[in-house]
Structure 1
Amino acid sequence: MEADQCRFLFLLFLFMCQLSPEVAAEVQESSDDSGASRETVQLTDVPAAMEFIAAAEVAVIGFFQDLEIPAVSLFHSMVQKFQAVSFGISTDSEVLAHYNITGNTISLFRLVDNEQLDLESKDIESIDATKLSRFIEINSLHLVTEYNPATAIGLFNSMIQIHLLLMMNKASPEYEESMHRYQNAAKLFQGKILFVLVDSGVKANGKVISFFKLKESQLPALAIYRTLDEEWDTLPRAEVSVENVQNFCDGFLGGKRLNTTLPSLDNSYFSNRLNF
């Protein structure tokens, strides 16, 4: 219970660094995209569904026994909104049984931690565009997830208890190459460590950076945190190479670290802000 509370407080702190209740109510707007037209993929058997899920970092599948319900057209409307998510649909009884689906359900699958998150029949009946958008936005964790108000909740919900944060300005000339290397390093720790990008060019993210006792002059930097026991470490002025990231993570996993415990958090500060 104590470990769960520490995990909750830490990630909620990151969440509240940026998000007011008013902003939270509108967070679904952040994923609008005017990209090319896309369609849902029809999944007619179990092998097709398994291959579809395995090929995507984030996959959302509508498991429907009845294609006439309002949630089906709503589901199709999400395809254009979330360009980085793969959408599939299935009515096949064997597919539904394979994924333990007993009614009309929308499920999100994450490659990064092998999670299956379900919106069950009782939720589907009252679902609207805002609720479905928030469900997808909040739970879409990739190999590298950019920190924002919605993904902060998804990070908290993940079963992976170690998070690595790269704090770097996305406008810097080195960003593209650094991110490519960071993503390659993330593949080495899939299922063990969640890789997160914190854009230091976003003013509100300054609180996240200072939380780890880092200054702008020390960026880019890496910060690693384990929610179970609040142990953490930082690597200021980090060269973002696969080797450096791997060595930093391996050192932390092996018990080598410089810092120990994050500052204690005021529980009342959070309890008064749980209105999102």
Structure 2
Amino acid sequence: MEGACYRWLLLLFLLTRGLAPEVAGEVEESSDGPDASQGPVWLTDVPAAVEFISAAEVAIIGFFQDLEIPVVSVFHSMVQKFQDVSFGISNDSEVLAHYNITKNSISLFRLVDNEQLKLEGEDIENMEATQLIRFIETNSLRLVTEYNPMTGFGLFNTLIEIHLLLVINKASPEYAENMHRYREAARLFQRKILFILVDSGIKENGKVISFFKLKESQLPALAIYRTLDDQWDTLPISEVTVERVQNFCDGFLEGKLLRENRKSEEMTSKVEL
């Protein structure tokens, strides 16, 4: 167990080291975030809050008992910086009670794993913008999340143990269509598998290719990893299809390893020779 965790930490370090600090975001731009000219949505009752959260991949709500504290204005400024995130705000007592809020708090809700992450207490009342930005960047995991310095570490804040990586060059002509189908497949495994994009066109991401023993000639490829026991598998693919991704994930969940089968085939071939 310790060895597996260490190797996964090492992988994340290799993936995130040296990359430019970009805002963690969805691979395909979301349309459910508010317009930059708007502020957070006021949530005046529990049904409105529930509907607001369920409609977004990443929703951030400021639960404020006191609207005069400095962090409230900082929270408002986040709407313009993160236009692909849904921001809400509430000081309604019933809404706060529904989400077990007993003090001023900022909560991030993720559709991908049904998580609610909180910043609360005296520490947030005078929180600076850079601190809140880091919290949002680090924890905004989505149906498909691209690796960057922030999201790599944010993966540790989820209880989902299996991560599926699509290693593909984002500059390739087939990228957009492949990503569309990859995203469709991600909906089938919500709260079971985290779907991740690794851009093979970024030089530093060559480390992930070698970690999974993939060759450049085998890309694009899928790589799946389970943090619990360090088990992994790969599948070179010429085209991403929902069925192919689904079969690969189902096979891994059932304990079938394609790379082990490939090794057996190679050994058999050598014996025959």
Give, as a single letter, the amino acid of the residue that structure 2 aligns with 1:46.
Answer: V
Residue 221 (structure 2) aligns with: 221
Following superposition of structure 1 onto structure 2, how do residues 101-180 of structure 1 map, counting pairs within 5 Å? Answer: 101-180=101-180
**Shift in Å at residue 12 of structure 1?**
4.7
| TM-score normalised according to structure 2 size | 0.87
Residue deviations 1:167-198, cap 9 Å, x none?
Answer: 00111000110000000000000010000000
> What secondary structure, in the 3-state scheme, does the structure 1 residue paired with 2:60 have?
strand
Structure with the greater alpha carbon radius of gyration:
2
Give, as a single letter, the amino acid of the residue that structure 2 aligns with 1:118.
Answer: K
Partner Cα separation in structure 1 for residue 126 and residue 7 of structure 2: 31
**Shift in Å at residue 30 of structure 1?**
6.7
> What secondary structure, in the 3-state scheme, does the structure 2 residue paired with 1:223 have?
strand
Q: How many percent identity over aligned positions?
A: 71
Residue 81 (structure 2) aligns with: 81
Residue 32 (structure 2) aligns with: none
Residue 236 (structure 2) pairs with residue 212 (structure 1): no
* RMSD over aligned Cα atoms: 2.0
**Shift in Å at residue 157 of structure 1?**
1.6
Give, as a single letter, the amino acid of the residue that structure 2 aligns with 1:99.
Answer: Y
Q: Contact 1:11 / 1:156 at 8 angstroms: preserved in 2? A: no
Count the aligned residue pairs. 252
Unpaired runs of at least 5, structure 2? 30-34, 261-273
Q: Contact 1:58 / 1:108 at 8 angstroms: preserved in 2? A: yes
**Shift in Å at residue 8 of structure 1?**
5.6
Partner Cα separation in structure 2 for residue 125 and residue 179 of structure 1: 40
Residue 267 (structure 1) aligns with: none
Give, as a single letter, the amino acid of the residue that structure 2 aligns with 1:138.
Answer: T
Residue 7 (structure 1) aligns with: 5
> What secondary structure, in the 3-state scheme, does the structure 2 residue paired with 1:60 have?
strand
Residue deviations 1:144-182, cap 9 Å, x none?
Answer: 001111001111221100000000011100011000000
1:10/1:210 Cα in 2 relative to 1: closer, same or farther (>3 Å)? same
Residue 42 (structure 2) pairs with residue 48 (structure 1): no
Give, as a single letter, the amino acid of the residue that structure 1 aligns with 2:200.
Answer: S
Residue 231 (structure 1) aligns with: 231
> What secondary structure, in the 3-state scheme, does the structure 2 residue paired with 1:17 have?
helix
**Shift in Å at residue 123 of structure 1?**
2.4
> What secondary structure, in the 3-state scheme, does the structure 2 residue paired with 1:44 have?
coil
Q: Contact 1:167 / 1:197 at 8 angstroms: preserved in 2? A: yes
Partner Cα separation in structure 1 for residue 100 and residue 6 of structure 2: 29
> What secondary structure, in the 3-state scheme, does the structure 2 residue paired with 1:163 have?
strand
| TM-score normalised according to structure 1 size | 0.86
1:54/1:29 Cα in 2 relative to 1: closer, same or farther (>3 Å)? closer
Q: Contact 2:186 / 2:195 at 8 angstroms: preserved in 1? A: yes
Give, as a single letter, the amino acid of the residue that structure 2 aligns with 1:27.
Answer: P
1:28/1:148 Cα in 2 relative to 1: closer, same or farther (>3 Å)? closer
Partner Cα separation in structure 1 for residue 225 and residue 159 of structure 2: 14
Q: Contact 1:233 / 1:259 at 8 angstroms: preserved in 2? A: yes
Partner Cα separation in structure 1 for residue 12 and residue 190 of structure 2: 22
Q: Contact 2:24 / 2:150 at 8 angstroms: preserved in 1? A: no
Partner Cα separation in structure 1 for residue 97 and residue 6 of structure 2: 33
Partner Cα separation in structure 1 for residue 60 and residue 7 of structure 2: 29
Q: Contact 1:108 / 1:117 at 8 angstroms: preserved in 2? A: yes
1:164/1:135 Cα in 2 relative to 1: closer, same or farther (>3 Å)? same
